[in-house]
Structures are given as C-alpha cells and as structure tokens.
Amino acid sequence: MVEVQILDGGMGRELQRIGAPFRQPEWSALALIEGPDFVVRAHRAFIEAGASVITTNSYAVVPFHIGEERFAAQGAALADLAGRLARQAATPNVAVAGSLPPALGSYRPDLFEHDRSVAIHRVLIEGLRPHIDFWLAETQSSIAEVRAAAAALTGDAKPLWASFTLADDPDDRPPVPALRSGEAVADGVLAAKALGVEALLFNCSQPEVMEAALSIARVTAPDLRLGVYANAFPPQRKAATANEGLDDLRAEITDQAYVDWAHRWVAAGASIVGGCCGIGPGHIAALARSVSPLNL
C-alpha cells in the first residue's frame, strides 16, 4: 500500500479563473498587491479539494515579474503577505510550502546568475520563513538554480524540497529525459541528493515526460522521496519565458485524464502528487479521491 501526499494545483490560473486581479507581467503576484482575499479563496479551494500541502503565492514575487523597483521596496513584505495568507487558509492538517521560484525567469537557465539569484531568494526567505513548514525550490530548470536556492537557505533548519522542470518539446526533446538546461535527470537527482533535499519532484512540464524521469530518479536515488506536479500547457519551446502571454491549456487533460497519469506516476515511484499551471481544484479533488491508500 502506498500513501500519497496530495499537493495543491496551479495558483496563477486558479486566481484568474475566480476573477482575481491578473495580468502580465505581474502574474499571480498582482492578487497579493490588489486582491489578497482572492489568494485565500484559491488556497482554500485546493484544501477543500483534498490537498494536504499548499504552496505560498510567492512564485511571481521576483523582479522578473514585479520589476526591480517594486521588488526592492516591497519584495520582503509581499513574501510575508504570501506566507501569512497561506497560513491563514491552512487547516491544522495542511502543511505550507514556501515557494522559491527560478529567480531570473521560468524556463530560462541561460539567464541564470548565481549571486543575483541568491540575493533574490534571501528576500523571499526573510518574508516567508515565519509562516512556512518547509521550502519548495520549484520549476528549477538547471542544477545551478537549485544550488543557488540551497545556498540562500544556508543555516535554515527547515526542510528543502526541490522540483525540476523538464524538457518537454516533442520536436526538440533530448534522447534521454533531461532538465530544460539539457542536463541529464540523473545528474540533477544526484546534485539534489548531495544538497540534502528531503524530497525531489518534477513539475511544470507535460504529463508525458514525467514517468521516465521518475524511473530514472528511483534508480539513481532509491531512498529519496519523489513526486510530480505536471502542467496542462502545450510543449514549451526552449526560449519561452513566463511573460510572453498566457498559454492555452490542453482541453484533453480532464480530471480523469490527469488521474490516469497520476496512477502511472505512483507506479513509477511517486509518493507526492499535485498539479501545476492549469491543474485546478477539480483535478486535485479527483486525484485525492483516486490515490488514497484505500485505492492503491
């Protein structure tokens, strides 16, 4: 019998769906600035759907989304607000993960700068730390990004989860599963393990690429907790950035289709499953019903 921990789904698209202030380039951070009650509503929707972990709405609290000036003036306060809203929404049996995003742009390992990334993460950490149960360095396109997040957390006692995003363009996909940087999944797993992560996940990539990555991770680090939270995007080209506009969502990724994928991930070694962009409370509710210990 496998006990599966259920994560929440994609915060940005859920905020948009419920009518929160939402536009580019601020993305999900705009709701923190102009409509924080929507953030609590979104968190609670995922909790009611069955999530036992919710993630702070701090993904877009970076200069890439809110601008350098606003980040310098308000970054720590917005991170603090994101943490407080998640804690406000959480029930006693729900954990709060502190989101540490790619500091210099999603899907853009080519833009990475170690010192700048560490500095941005330290601002987020300052605001989030009082409110969260563990850290989640998510949508990491390269090993260097995860190392920067870990460096920013030096001396922090709370556990770190790391989550890589995978190359998922079928027209330009490496012959073996790889990070968006092109680095091999196995190398990413070994690097994360060396950093002492408590769990390793794969997120913000198409469902189709997750199973193979999990299989490699299970062989490479059999004692490491593994997880998946896929998105509902079409394939993302290598030069894509998060501020180029809203991607369409794949209509074929229904609640049941996502559940079917999740069962494959659990069979491949995942004990943590949730959703990323475009995966809403309906998907999570179906997931929670179908991957409880009684159903596996």
Which CATH number belongs to the domain containing residue 24 in this structure?
A: 3.20.20.330
pLDDT at 244 over 70: no
Q: What is the mean pLDDT of residues 167-193?
A: 92
What total number of domains does the chain contain? 1
In this prediction, residue 296 carries a pLDDT of: 47
Give me the chain's average pLDDT, please: 94
What gap in Å lies between CA 10 and CA 231, rounded to an integer?
8
In this prediction, residue 260 carries a pLDDT of: 97
What gap in Å lies between CA 187 and CA 159, rounded to an integer?
21
Q: Please, which residues have CB within 8 angstroms of residue 61's CB and are 6 or more apart in sequence?
A: 29, 32, 71, 75, 78, 79, 82, 124
pLDDT above 70 coverage of the chain, percent:
94
Asked if residue 287 lies in contact with residue 50, where contact means CB atoms within 8 angstroms, the answer is: yes
| Containing structural domain, residue 244 | 5-295
46-79 pLDDT, tens digit per residue, is 999 999 999 999 999 999 999 999 999 999 999 9
Which of the four pLDDT bands, split at 50, 70 and 90, describes residue 294? very low
128-157 pLDDT, tens digit per residue, is 999 999 999 999 999 999 999 999 999 999
Preceding omega of 25 cis (within 30 degrees of 0): yes
Q: Which pTM value belongs to this model?
A: 0.95
In this prediction, residue 241 carries a pLDDT of: 53
